[in-house]
Chains A and B, each alone.
Chain A
Amino acid sequence: MTTLPEPVEQLLEAALVGELTVIDANGRPVTYPLIPLYDGERIYLTSSTLFSRKLEHIKANPRVSLSITDPIAVGGRTDRATIQGDARVIEEDPHGGWERLLPIWQKKEPSIVYFLTQRVALPLFFERSLIEITPRRAYYWADGNAATAPVTTAAGRQAA
């Protein structure tokens, strides 16, 4: 189990979209809106090979962050969080390996199951790799206000 604070976990579970930031070859942050999928330990995101530049950045520099900021995407909650962590790209089987996350994905985007049946129409969209983030540190703004310093939690694996 990770030691992510409970409200941060709740945000991850509720969020329809979060902002993944990776670092490009020039050391600049690049932000991508993606659906965060949380299994209670690690955060997963999936990336189509069509939009796979972020994967190149992660392979070169695994340090990433994921922020949950949009109240509209979390059912009206006004609290916010940013999680920093180390990412790895899982790409053993871009064709079907990502489908193990389909049950969590479907909870947030039910239509994805239908779209998958139409794979023939958009084959490359469903060639996907997984981004697995192991959280290292979490910042939490209970009031969502940047004028208030966030609560910072070091996140790591607890002793079994």
Chain B
Amino acid sequence: MAATTQTPRTPALDAPQALAKLATYPFQILTFVDRDGYPFSVAVEATIDPTAGTAMFPAPAGFSIPDGTEVSLTGSHIRPQPGYGYDERRHVTVWGRAASSADGSRLVVAAARAWGWDEAEVPFFEYSERSIGQSKRYFDALSLERGTPVKPRLSLGALVLRTTRLPFLSATIVPVVLGIAIAARQGSFDLLTAVLTVIGASFVQLGLNVANDVFDTAQGADDANVTPTKFSGGSRVIQYGLVSFRQMASLATLFYVGAGLIGLLLLALRGSPALLAIGVIGFVVSIGYTAPPLKFVYRGLGEIAVAIGFGPLMLLGAYVVQTRGTLTWEPVVASLPIALLVALILYVNEIPDRRGDARVGKRTLPVRLSKATVIAGYRLAAVAAYAILVAGVAVGLLPIPALLMLLTIPLARQVSSGLEPNYDNPYGLMSVMGINVKVHLYAGVLLLAGYLLVLIAATLAPSVSLFLGR
């Protein structure tokens, strides 16, 4: 496991920079340690000269501050938000030795060191991420003091949610249920194996999610990322000390073993060479996503691996379980728009991770490509997804109601237009990433709804075809 990468918690601030910031505050808080050994603070209004590196102010009444005393000057700001709390947090402190002016009426501080934080420069979430090393040190020291491990905690439900990234299971449910629906439309449906397929495929994704954190941690990628969001940067449960590296490795193994057992059961119940091939390829793609030696995502092949895994492999795998190995072009074509849209989830989620990824040699497409190319790539792939759908309907491979998926175009446009202004702002990009997840989910659900309409129509009006040219 890689050692925790040390990242500065706040940008380096030299004394002249800090003084320039300090000058923007309406007053400064002068602090020193008094004769009794307690800190003492008093608000002063200093004349600040960043070029000279000094701050000068009238000596506060009632106190004697001997020359050479180390003092600090702090500026602190918040903006109250009634009914909510506050925002616009920023503060800056400079330290230096105090000296009396020639007439003794004023004190001059020559700034030597500085520290500060401005949430407009380093967003709170990033500041927190940069500080997880301090939290680890705290718990380590407390554990040593008590002689028993003390760790941060989450409720079991929240921990499971965070560790497995459960909400992202839609990436599996969509293609698998679609594959089952297409088979059902063609007259093949078996409830038991359909349920087993959904569970087995879900285990594969959960195994992948957890294994992804294990291998990204082992290779330093998650430690190097200080701008994770709820869509990117992994679950971070290892970095936060909530779950150990070993526990995560065991959990990933457990999910893969569970998936493997269900796969074997499905082979026994509905076995076919096609299912075996899909299962083996799926396992290799899933493990090889972040694990050496394949490390697809580190080589800029993550999008292709995800597209294949969560598009054709999931959909066709579910389909051939139902059809006992028979393959047709319909599920292949239906899987392609889903494959492209799921790959675009990863593609956009990699944008805020690209700096951390680049530091550890994770050469994803947003690391390799320019901003303009990445945005153009998104548009091209999204257009391709919809074009394949329309072409599939036009040639009679997909049913006409599948065109319902086109209703997600406005959402895809929102993502497309949101990338440019938020490209360098991970937290601004969060809402764009959220919409992008919805594009895939809603597209899948609408495609599924289209197939449901076909099934209903086939029952109510068997003579009416909802396929062009049939």
Contact = CB atoms under 8 A, between A and B. Distances in A.
Interface in B1-60: 27, 29-34, 36-44, 58, 60
A125 B85 contact: no
Contacts of A110: 83-85
A120 B134 contact: no
Contacts of A19: 29, 31, 41, 74, 76
Contacts of A85: 38
A124 interface: yes
Given A52-B134, A110-B85, A147-B58, A123 B39 contact: no
Contacts of A111: 84-85
A80 B76 CA distance: 15
Contacts of B41: 19, 21, 31, 65, 67, 69, 82
B43 A84 contact: no
A130 interface: no
Contacts of B40: 65, 82, 84, 139
B31 A29 contact: yes
A18 to B, nearest CB: 9
Interface in A58-108: 63-65, 67, 69-70, 72-73, 80, 82, 84-85, 91, 94-95, 108
Counting chain A residues whose Cβ lies within 8 A of the other chain, the interface size class is 35 or more
A31 B72 contact: yes
Nearest to B89: A33
Q: Which of A33, A84, A108 has the most CB of B within 10 A?
A: A33
A64 B34 CA distance: 11
Contacts, number: 171
A79 to B, nearest CB: 11
A146 B128 contact: no
Contact of A50 (B62, B134, B154): B134
Contact of A31 (B37, B58, B74, B152): B74
A146 B162 CA distance: 51
A65 B131 CA distance: 24
B70 interface: yes
A22 B44 contact: no
A25 B142 CA distance: 19
A37 interface: no
B230 A95 contact: no
Interface in A12-27: 16-17, 19, 21-23, 27
Contacts of A17: 76, 78, 86
A31 B45 CA distance: 18
Contacts of B280: none
A33 B89 CA distance: 9
A91 B27 CA distance: 34
B93 interface: yes
B150 interface: yes
Contacts of B79: 72
A108 B82 CA distance: 9
B131 A21 contact: no
Contact of B39 (A49, A50, A56, A64): A64
Given A33-B91, A50-B134, A52-B138, 5 more contacts: A52-B134, A82-B40, A91-B142, A139-B40, A146-B44
25 contacts: A19-B31, A27-B70, A29-B33, A30-B72, A50-B135, A52-B137, A63-B37, A67-B29, A67-B43, A70-B77, A80-B42, A82-B42, A84-B39, A94-B142, A110-B84, A119-B158, A120-B162, A123-B242, A124-B152, A127-B135, A127-B152, A141-B43, A144-B43, A146-B60, A147-B61
